Structures are given as C-alpha cells and as structure tokens.
Chain A
Amino acid sequence: MPKVLDNVQIGPLTWKMKVEIPRLVAKAKAGQFVIIRVNEEGERVPMSIAGLDKENGALTIVYQVVGKTSALMTTVPAGGELSDCVGPLGMPSHVENWGTACVIGGGIGIAPIYPIAQAYKEAGNKLITIIGARSKELLFYEEEHKAVADEQYVCTDDGSYGHHGFVSDVLKKLLDDGVKIGMIMAIGPVPMMRVVSNLTKQYNTPTWVSLNPLMIDGTGMCGGCRVSIDGETKFACVDGPDFDGHKVDFDLLTRRLSAYHEQEREAMKRFLTDPGCRLAKDVENFSYPD
C-alpha cells in the first residue's frame, strides 16, 4: 500500500499530502491525475498531481476539505498508508514552446497548475503566472510558483493580498495591454475556468482547462466523467482531463458535479458527529463550497 510521507495543513481547509509511489511517479507527467482510496470503505477519488519528486519517487497532492473523504484524508498521519493510489491517469498536458505561455491557478487549482508551469518553462516558454484565491489565507505555493515564473501576479477576491480582484481581471489587463500570449492553461473552480475561457475567446487566445468531473475507475470503463466538448460527449478520464476551454460546456460540468450533494452532506454530517472524530474541531467552521 502506498505510504504517506507527509500530510500537512497549508491553509484553513487546505492540506498537502506526499505519497511514496515510485513506479507511478517515474511514469507520471504534468497534467495527469491519480485516483486514491483512503480505506476499505472509501470511495475512489481523482486527485490532480501537484508535484512529482522523481528522485524520491514521491507524489504531491493538494486537497481541500470539501466532504467526508477529504476530511478523512487529513487523518492519515505521516508514515501511514492509503488503501490505493492508481495512475498516472489521463493524458499529459500538451507542452510546447509557444513563445509566451500563461498559467492561471485559482484556489485549489494553484497546486496542479504548478507542474504544468514547470513543464511550460522547461519547454522554453516565457512564463506568466497568475494565481488567486478568495483571500490571503487561502493562498499557497506563492514561492514555488515565483521560482518558475518569469512574471507573476497574485490576487485575492477580497483584496487582502496582492491585486484586489479575480485572476481574470489580471489576465484581461495583460491582454488589453497587448501582451502576446501563445497559450493559456487555467485550473481552478469551474466558474473561474468558465470566466477565463469566455474572456480569452474574445481575444482569440488558445486556452486549455483541466476538468475534474466525478469518476470511478479512471480508465474509460464507467463513463461517469462524461463532459461535452463542442457538443460531443467525451470521457474526461481518458480523453482529458485537459480540454479546449472555448469548447467546454461548463453548465453541464457544474450540474454533473452536484449529482451527489445530498449524499455528500449526509456522509460529512455522520463523519463529523462520530464521537471518535478528532477532526470535528478543526472543521467546525466548515461550510460547503457552492
């Protein structure tokens, strides 16, 4: 079973886990994902790859507590184990030298955009990085990104740090200023990816987004991760997770992500009211993301 090397809190509801799984790490590329299962009763959850330590055969995932499984993940100590971690799944992100490339990470998306930023940089691009979150304490990885980026912009929705505004506001300014960007890759909450895609469509700037629908096997077998791209149904697990943002049906993605809200709430409630739950205090201010 894959060993958890480290599992630390890096924000109010954000955690970073490092998992030792050398064979997977040796094969994984930026943009791919893994599916983990915490324990025998656990669900299979897709997790974007947020870092690959090839030397130590370790994989980094960054996750936000949004429900029972992510809450349960926080309880796995360093030295503990996950039931399973399978991958690398999905197609790697397309990487080439476009001259100037821009990566945009919103909220938890700041993590998985990081290996892609590295790959873009390694391919010779001038790299513009835009990261943003609702407020200062939800930001992370600022230094990591800074080390890779040629130009970096940090913003918060509430203005508590960096630019006051959305990542799309910063991007719009760059585009309006005539900065020529060959490729944009945006990862974050669905509304953010939608806004960025709608914006760049007006500027005719190619934009990729990484989609995160619900899935089970991750190999094309279940079809649960159906997304609509230019009116055609695709399976995000094998055809994606990256798609042309200008062609994605974001409404459908949003709706399908909400399929189990009721059950998810029930599971979380049960988990938090379990007398053995040490986490209840940590997440007492827990509120469900919209």
Chain B
Amino acid sequence: MAEKLKPRERMKIPRQKMPEQDPKERSKNFKEVPFGLTEEQALIEAERCLDCPKVPCVKGCPVEVDIPGFIMLIREKEYAAAARKIKETNSLPAICGRVCPQEEQCEIVCPLHKNYGSVRIGYLERFVADYERDNDLVELPEIAPPTGRKVAIVGSGPAGLTAAGDLIKLGHAVTIFEALHKPGGVLVYGIPEFRLPKNIVQAECDFLADMGVEFQNSTVIGKMDTIDELFEMGYDAIFIGTGAGLPNFMGIPGENLIGIYSANEYLTRSNLMRAFDFPNYDTPIIHGKNVAVLGGGNTAMDAVRTALRLGADNAYIVYRRSEKEMPARDEEIHHAKEEGIQFRLLTAPIRFLGNSDGRVQAMECIRMELGEPDASGRRRPVPIEGSNYVMEVDLVVVGIGNSSNPLIPKTTPGLKCNKWGNIIADEETMLTSRKGVYAGGDIVTGGATVILAAGAGKKAARAMHKYLMEEVKK
C-alpha cells in the first residue's frame, strides 16, 4: 500500500469479508463459524480507516478502546503492539472481537458506514488478539506495587473478569469467586463453541491468573460465604457481577413436560458440560428432530443453532414479534438463516402437549399482529383470535430472558434492589447501597451484552481503586 493515501482513495478500498465455514458443513459441527481475517485482509482493511481526528468510534465504544491507535499499528504490521493497545482499556479483545455488537457501537458511527460500509473494527480486533495469542506474544502488563488492599469479585463473567484485570494491574490483591467449576460465566456456559471457542475464554482467564488473580471456582457466594463474611475474611471491597441467572418461563400449560428446557439449561448442558460430545462427556442432552426455540435474542439464536448441530431436521425460532423487533444481532440472524433455521414470526405458543411419558410432542400456537408501540418502543404483538394451530415439536427451548438471581440480595442486608430484583448501582461508580460493595453487568441491568458488562466492570474498578486508596486505611 502507498504511504499516504488520500481519504478518497481509502474509501475505494474494498471492505473485507471474513472467510467462514460453509453453512451446510458448519450446521453439523461445533467448530467456530468465521475463520478470522487473513493477515493480508487485515492489512487491506486497516488501510480503509480514515484516522478521523474526532474519533467517533472511540466514543461509540463502551470501554473507549483507542481504535484508530490500534489500527495504525496494524498498518505498521505491529500486530502484538496493536493487541496491547486494545488491552490498555479492554482486557478481553479476543472475546469482544467475536461477540461485541460492533455494528451498533463503534462501527455505526464510522464515517464510512453510510456509503461504503464501516471499517470492520471487530474483525481487526479479533485479528490482532488471535495473532498475539497464537504466536505466543502475550506479555504481562506492568503491575503496580502491592497496595495491601484485597478485593473480592463475585462471578467470573465479562464484568468480573474486566474488573479483576483492571484492579490487579493497580496493585490490589484480587480473588474471583465462581459458582460453577470453570471460570468465564456466560462466556463459558452460555455462548456456544461455534461462536466463541472455549480455549479463548480459558486463555483470557489464564492471563489474569498469570497476573496474580486468584480464582476460587465452585464457590457460591450467598451460600458458602455471604458478602458480609467476605468483609470479615479481610476483603476491603467487593464487586458483584453474578449475571442474570434465573430463567424466565412462559407460564403456560405443559411447560414442565420433558423436553422443555430453559435456554440456560440447554446451553449449559451443551457448552459447559459438553453434552454435544456425549457419551465421551457424561452429561446427556435431548436431541430433538423438530425443535422450537422461543425468543428472538442472541441466546435464542445460540440455542437454535445448537439444536441444528445436534441433528434437528427442523429448527425453528418462534417469536411473537416480527424480525425487525428481534433483539439478536443481525449477524446472528443472518448466520442462522444461512444454516437453514426456520423463522416462525408473529407466533406465540399458548400451551404444550405431551405424550403418555410426559414428553413434549406438540405446541399450540396463536398468530400475532403488531399493534401500538409499548413501553419498550416496539410495537406490541396482539393475538389474532381463532388463528390457533398446532406445531409438532419434540424439543422446546425457552429463551425469553432471565430475572436476577436472588442468592446475594437475599443474604446481604442493606443491599438495595429495584422491583425486578436487579441490584441498584450508581451509573458512574457502580457503587451499591452498601459501602465498599460495587455491582455491574446483568445483575444490575438485566440481560444485556458482554461489552456492556465489561464496561461496567471497568467503571467499577476505577471507582473501587479510588475508594481503596482514599478510604481504606492500611
């Protein structure tokens, strides 16, 4: 590439497409769908960046990654340095490069977006993070001298991992408590291998461990120890990032039939417990031939694509609104369609029918039409009377969201929650109603995204550092 291209010339550079597994092939395996950009492609894509002085992309990023900064390093083929540049503000680039909704954040504000398609910031982020890891170029960042302060992080999802990474760098002693036997939270139990390989999550956790973060897995805070007991154990500040872990069900007849899973259970069986590899792994999972996944979010897409990979002949998304209202990322919807997922839109189940063994065999649905907008601003679905019909299904996955898990709020006096049970935290500092207790991620916002949780972890770490240094005397 020429040394100095004019913006007009940069606009003419073709936007790079990520190579990915053929839909027919991939719908039968659990390997990652997109392969990642090649080095050549990354160099071309990096040339498209206009290096705007006003950096709209940085402002669009919940953790304010220096996007032009890392892209300029790619142009210089300093890929590992580019990864480190991202890590100055985002500890999880290999993960965020894969699962962040860049199209709604950094990429939508790119000046190229409208006419040429934005710079593929997410692809480039993934490229440098993978390059650094695959070539063993990961270096530990500088760690400040020990401050003598101890921090407990409850939950090892994106919020907790981010907070831990920032706090350990500042010299605090950090322990992460995780209820499950593996760290990573939703990154491990929720997001499937084909979208986020688990060795990448493990590598990010190993990186934190190498920096000195202590992981205590299989430890349920609220059961083993309460928040107050953590203080008694000598922790000076606590971050709660336990996620939105209480699945919602439809509350319609027949919902407890065998073969009706919450998305959490279905995905946890397949992802964390690796039931897709039964009997090499001991955890079983029901393989449906006609599978209906209820809901229109990323979790529903993950579940329906998992069902397809586990051998479904027909895998349906059943959603009561239209495609436009679906909360899932466009990319996920697109991938699902390519793989042959069938969309039954404006459709709502009203009851499940079972056979004599108590296994689900059909689902009665009603068609919907869109009425006036509701509180969420989306048009409210209204049932069309008399439009009922029966769908044959032998597996149903309910992916209509989560409520907040009450284990910690119930055992922590003085910790204030809103009417949905989400912990109330200050928007800027993530401080809760309890001194020294911070919270972030889905336990505060309700079901949201990986990067918003990471952003909350980051804000909390900043405020916790200030609190630890100014108010905790050692």
A: residues with CB less than 8 A from B are 23-24, 27, 37, 41-44, 68-69, 83-89, 216-224, 226, 228, 233, 238, 252, 255-256, 258-260, 263-264, 266-267, 270
Residues 104-157 of B contacting A (Cβ, < 8 Å):
none
Would you give the shortest CB distance from A157 to chain B, in whole angstroms? 27
B: residues with CB less than 8 A from A are 179-181, 189, 217-220, 223-225, 245-247, 249, 255-256, 258-259, 261-262, 264-265, 268-269, 272-274, 278-284, 286, 357-358, 405-407
Residues of B within 8 A of A267 (CB): 278-279, 282, 284
Structural contact, B282 and A68, CB atoms closer than 8 A: yes
Interface of B is mostly: loop
Structural contact, A263 and B284, CB atoms closer than 8 A: yes
Extra contacts besides A86-B219, A87-B223, A223-B265 (17): CB < 8 Å = A23-B224, A41-B280, A44-B283, A85-B218, A217-B189, A217-B268, A219-B220, A219-B245, A220-B245, A220-B405, A220-B406, A220-B407, A221-B245, A222-B247, A255-B258, A264-B284, A266-B279
The contact sample of 11 A-B pairs, CB cut-off 8 A, is A43-B282, A86-B219, A88-B224, A216-B272, A219-B405, A221-B247, A223-B249, A223-B265, A256-B256, A256-B358, A263-B284
Residues of B within 8 A of A221 (CB): 179, 189, 245-247, 264, 268, 405
Residues of B within 8 A of A238 (CB): 406-407
Contact of B218 among A84, A255, A258 (CB under 8 A): A84
Contact of B407 among A24, A42, A88, A219 (CB under 8 A): A219
Tell me the nearest residue of chain A to B222, going by C-beta.
Answer: A219
B217, B218, B225, B247 — most chain A CB neighbours (10 Å): B218
Structural contact, A270 and B284, CB atoms closer than 8 A: no
Would you give the shortest CB distance from A32 to chain B, in whole angstroms? 9
Residues of B within 8 A of A216 (CB): 265, 268-269, 272-273, 283
Structural contact, A256 and B258, CB atoms closer than 8 A: yes
Docked CA distance A228–B253 (Å): 12
Residues of A within 8 A of B280 (CB): 41
Given the interface pairs A24-B224, A27-B223, A219-B405, the reply to whether A42 lies near B282 with Cβ below 8 Å is yes
Structural contact, A226 and B256, CB atoms closer than 8 A: yes
Would you give the shortest CB distance from A143 to chain B, in whole angstroms? 32
Structural contact, B223 and A233, CB atoms closer than 8 A: no
Would you give the shortest CB distance from B263 to chain A, in whole angstroms? 9
Residues of B within 8 A of A217 (CB): 179-180, 189, 245, 268
Tell me the nearest residue of chain A to B259, going by C-beta.
Answer: A259
Structural contact, A222 and B265, CB atoms closer than 8 A: yes
Count, A-B residue pairs, CB within 8 A: 118
Docked CA distance A224–B407 (Å): 17
Given the interface pairs A84-B181, A220-B405, A255-B357, the reply to whether A44 lies near B273 with Cβ below 8 Å is yes
A23, A27, A88, A220 — most chain B CB neighbours (10 Å): A220
B220, B281, B286 — most chain A CB neighbours (10 Å): B220
Contact of B224 among A68, A87, A220, A222 (CB under 8 A): A87
Contact of B265 among A219, A224, A266, A270 (CB under 8 A): A224
Structural contact, B223 and A224, CB atoms closer than 8 A: no
Given the interface pairs A217-B268, A221-B264, the reply to whether A252 lies near B282 with Cβ below 8 Å is no
Structural contact, B407 and A43, CB atoms closer than 8 A: no
Residues of B within 8 A of A84 (CB): 181, 217-218
Structural contact, B357 and A258, CB atoms closer than 8 A: yes
Would you give the shortest CB distance from B231 to chain A, in whole angstroms? 16
Docked CA distance A218–B209 (Å): 26
Docked CA distance A219–B407 (Å): 8
Residues of B within 8 A of A252 (CB): 256, 358
Structural contact, A233 and B224, CB atoms closer than 8 A: no
Would you give the shortest CB distance from A85 to chain B, in whole angstroms? 7
Residues of B within 8 A of A24 (CB): 224
Docked CA distance A252–B357 (Å): 10
Tell me the nearest residue of chain B to A40, going by C-beta.
Answer: B281
Given the interface pairs A88-B223, A252-B256, A263-B284, the reply to whether A223 lies near B262 with Cβ below 8 Å is yes
Structural contact, A43 and B283, CB atoms closer than 8 A: yes
Residues of A within 8 A of B246 (CB): 220-221, 223
Residues of A within 8 A of B268 (CB): 216-217, 221-222
- Give the top 7 A-B pairs by smallest Cβ distance, nearest first: A255-B358, A263-B284, A222-B265, A86-B218, A221-B245, A223-B262, A43-B282
